[in-house]
Amino acid sequence: MEAERTLLSIGTRVRIRRADVPEAGTFSTRVEEVDETRIVVQPPFVQGSPVSWPPGTRVELEVNRTQQPGQGLYRSVTVVLGKGSGPLGFVYLQKPEEWQRVQAREFFRVPAMLAVQVRAVGQEEGPWMIGQTRDVSGGGCLLVLGQPFSVGDTVEIVLSLPEGRVSAKGTVKRSEKVEESGGNLWSLGVAFTDIAERDRDVIIRFALKRQIELRRKGLA
Query: 170 and 75 in one domain?
Result: no
Number of independent structural domains in the chain: 2
Residues 84 and 141 in one domain: no
Among 102, 124, 140, residue at a domain's last position: 102
Contacts of 169 (CB under 8 A, 6+ apart): 121, 154, 155, 156, 157, 192, 193, 194, 195
* Same domain, residue pair 31 and 52: yes
Residues 115 and 192 both lie in one domain: yes
- Which pLDDT tens digits describe the chain residue by residue (220 residues)? 444 567 888 998 888 888 887 667 778 889 999 998 999 999 888 777 888 889 999 999 988 776 666 777 788 999 999 988 766 789 999 999 888 887 655 577 889 999 999 999 987 777 899 999 999 998 899 999 998 899 999 999 999 999 899 999 999 999 988 877 666 899 999 988 888 878 888 898 888 888 888 878 876 5
Range of the domain at 35: 2-102
- Going by C-beta distance under 8 Å and a sequence separation of 6 or more, which residues neighbour residue 185? 144, 145, 146, 177, 178
CATH number of the domain where residue 11 is located? 2.30.110.10
Whether the model clears a pTM of 0.75, i.e. scores above it, the answer is no
- Residue 134: what are its φ and ψ, rounded to 5°? -110, -35
Same domain for 94 and 8: yes
pLDDT at 201: 82
User: Is the domain of 85 the same as that of 179?
Assistant: no
Q: What is the CATH number of the domain that holds 135?
A: 2.40.10.220
